[in-house]
Chain A
Amino acid sequence: EAGVTQSPTHLIKTRGQQATLRCSPISGHTSVYWYQQALGLGLQFLLWYDEGEERNRGNFPPRFSGRQFPNYSSELNVNALELEDSALYLCASSLMGQDPTYTEAFFGQGTRLTVV
């Protein structure tokens, strides 16, 4: 069974541009989470989507946005890129929305975004 897949694996953008990151959850998972991890630091929660709706949002400016599609895949968009947005962006999926007794989350390998 395929795990969580993220694309692209690497992305280089210049300051002020927009970046779009994509995530495909494990088949059957309805919840998708996005995290930002700057080099050497911890995971900062960005967004949580479940059943197509944004359920929760971390402490990030509005230029970080996303959506979840009917097939439960998700996009993270970062507008007006700044140098400090350079980080590993991780996506995770879980059965959270469907099975309230089980909350293991499975992570993808991430997208390394570099803003120059």
Chain B
Amino acid sequence: LAKTTQPISMDSYEGQEVNITCSHNNIATNDYITWYQQFPSQGPRFIIQGYKTKVTNEVASLFIPADRKSSTLSLPRVSLSDTAVYYCLVGARGGYNKLIFGAGTRLAVHP
């Protein structure tokens, strides 16, 4: 499985755009990139998944460059409720994805 590296923590303020970058230099051809959000004492929640270029949903955008060795989760206009841990996962869709979580990025949004 491809190893991922994210910043341990980030700080932001309400209304700002937050970009969290994940490095995955050993990503395989059939690997997808998935991001989860976790609030304290709750299970993680799926945010977004992509393979290449850009994916956007109602919550976030995911930017993946052509070499796919990194990806950036973009959260537009964050609020206090976006304070959470964000995990980047890399693995193949289907059968053998073990959903291995790294340490994640602890985002703190301040008033």
A100 touches B101 (CB 8 A): no
In the docked arrangement, what's the CA distance between A45 and B44, Å?
13
Contact A103 B42 (CB under 8 A): no
Q: Which of A11-19, A61-69, A70-78, A107-115 contacts B (4 or more CB under 8 A)?
A: A107-115
CA distance in complex: A67, B87 (Å)? 27
A96 touches B43 (CB 8 A): no
Q: How far is the CA of A106 from the CA of B102 in the complex (A)?
A: 17
Q: Which of B18-26, B76-84, B90-98 contacts A (4 or more CB under 8 A)?
A: B90-98
Per-position 1/0 for B89-111, Cβ under 8 A of A: 00101111111111110000000
Q: Mark A88-105, 1 if CB is under 8 A from B, else 0.
A: 101110101101111111
Pick from B32, B93, B101: contact of A43, CB under 8 Å = B101
A92 CA to B34 CA, complexed, in Å: 15
A60 to chain B, nearest CB (A): 13
8 Å CB contact of B93 from A33, A48, A97, A100: A100
Contacts of A49 in B (CB 8 A): none
Check B103–A110 contact: CB distance below 8 A. no
Interface size class of A (residues with CB under 8 A): 20 to 34
Cβ-based interface call for B70 (8 A): no
Per-position binary interface string of chain A over residues 1-29, scored 1 when its CB falls under 8 Å from any chain B CB and 0 otherwise: 00010000000000000000000000000
- List residues 23-54 of chain A with CB under 8 A from any CB of chain B: 33, 35, 42-43, 45, 48
**Docked-complex contact B95 and A96, CB < 8 angstroms:** yes
Q: List 14 A-B contacts (CB under 8 A).
A: A33-B99, A35-B101, A42-B87, A43-B87, A45-B100, A48-B99, A90-B43, A92-B99, A96-B97, A97-B95, A99-B94, A100-B93, A104-B49, A105-B99
Residue numbers of B with Cβ under 8 A of A are 32, 34, 41-46, 49, 87, 91, 93-104
